[in-house]
Amino acid sequence: MKLKIGKWLDNSGPENDVVLSTRIRFARNLKNIPFEIKASQADQISVLEMVGYALEDLDLLKTGKLLNSQDLTLLYTQYLLERHLVSPDFAGSKLRHALYVDDDETLSMMVNEEDHIRYQVIASGLDFAGSLNRIVEFDDKLESELDFAYSADLGFLTACPTNVGTGMRASVLIHLPGLVLTKEIEKVLRGVIQIGLAVRGLYGEGTETKGNFFQVSNQQSLGRSETEIIEILDKAVRQVIQYERKAREYLGQNVKLEIEDKVYRAEAILKSARIITSEETMNFLGILRLGVIMAMIAEVDLKTINELMIITKPANLQIFYNQEMEPNERDEKRASLIRNRLLNREKPNG
């Protein structure tokens, strides 16, 4: 089966050797409707209807689709979570909820998650400016159709106090194998945390770090403008990028043989394994990605690795093969898919 891959995985963005993607999310609630923690089912349905009408009026359903609760099976919701299009809370929600996602998966909106609506822009590489411009434009369009809960003193009102103000969360998905291998990672991330930023796992709060990928994001939304928050985060991320590149340079100059051994072992396993777990895949792909960046591997590109990190996830794998599978079946199919992709035998749609 051909499986479309989100545009943010095409590795076209700035600083893409370190930063996989940039994401900006806005949280909003509708005026005169209780927050989700107090909302009745009738309230939830009202939110869904109001958002649906707004999307229609803005012609956004011509360039994307709105998926309601009945469309979101357990498997398909997990597929969306693996693609960073919904949150773990949304995936486990019992509310009447929905998701809007545009055709290239760079703009999406959760309806009836923790807040009435949460929408995000996700872009390749380090692109805070472009992402902020796009989400502000989308926010302005929605605000012309919907009446948001807003306080002149506090800003946008949200279910969680940490989101009050701008309602914005900005983050990057960043690959730091050099800092991990040189054992500098704790010191660097401690510095990031000390200036008020958060460091989380691959899928955000409460998730594990795999393949040496981390999420770095702002924690505070109140008291600063969107631009000020972005400036602080951008400056910190660029500093981390410099540290990571220096660490890679050190590895190449001082322990090149050991790094080559790790890279070539990972490549050999990925190209020859008949059974491989999702966790093993992420860890080996993270090492292989380092090898490509350090010019140890020439026949594989970063776009291929980025795609494999998504389509080999359990739900994506089952949708790729159009069949539900037990874990041992997935491990076998995953190994087969990886071999075919790395040997250029099988490619998804761009």
**Where along the chain do its domains lie?**
7-239, 256-342
Q: What is the C-alpha separation between 108 and 84, in angstroms, rounded?
A: 10
SS3 category, 196: coil
Q: What is the largest CA-CA distance in the chain?
A: 64
Low-confidence ranges of the chain (pLDDT < 70): 1-3, 202-209, 345-350
Give the per-residue pLDDT at 238.
97
- The correct answer on CATH 3.30.590.10 for the domain covering 7-239 is yes
Give the per-residue pLDDT at 136.
96
Distance set, CA 328 to CA 22, 28, 204, 272 (Å): 34, 42, 27, 17
Beta bridge partners of 121: 24, 107
Give the per-residue pLDDT at 209.
59
Q: Give the full edge-to-edge strand order of the sheet including 168-175.
A: 64-68, 98-102, 107-111, 117-124, 19-28, 168-175, 213-218, 197-200
Structure confidence by residue, pLDDT tens digits, 14-39: 999 999 999 999 999 999 999 988 99
Give the per-residue pLDDT at 347.
52
| 6: DSSP letter | -
Q: What is the C-alpha separation between 8 and 11, in angstroms, rounded?
A: 7
Give the per-residue pLDDT at 338.
97
Give the per-residue pLDDT at 173.
96
**Residue 18 contacts by C-beta under 8 Å, 6 or more apart in sequence?**
126, 174, 175, 176, 240, 241, 244, 245
Angle, helix 278-293 to helix 256-272, in steps of 10 degrees: 130
205 close to 212: Cβ distance less than 8 angstroms:
no
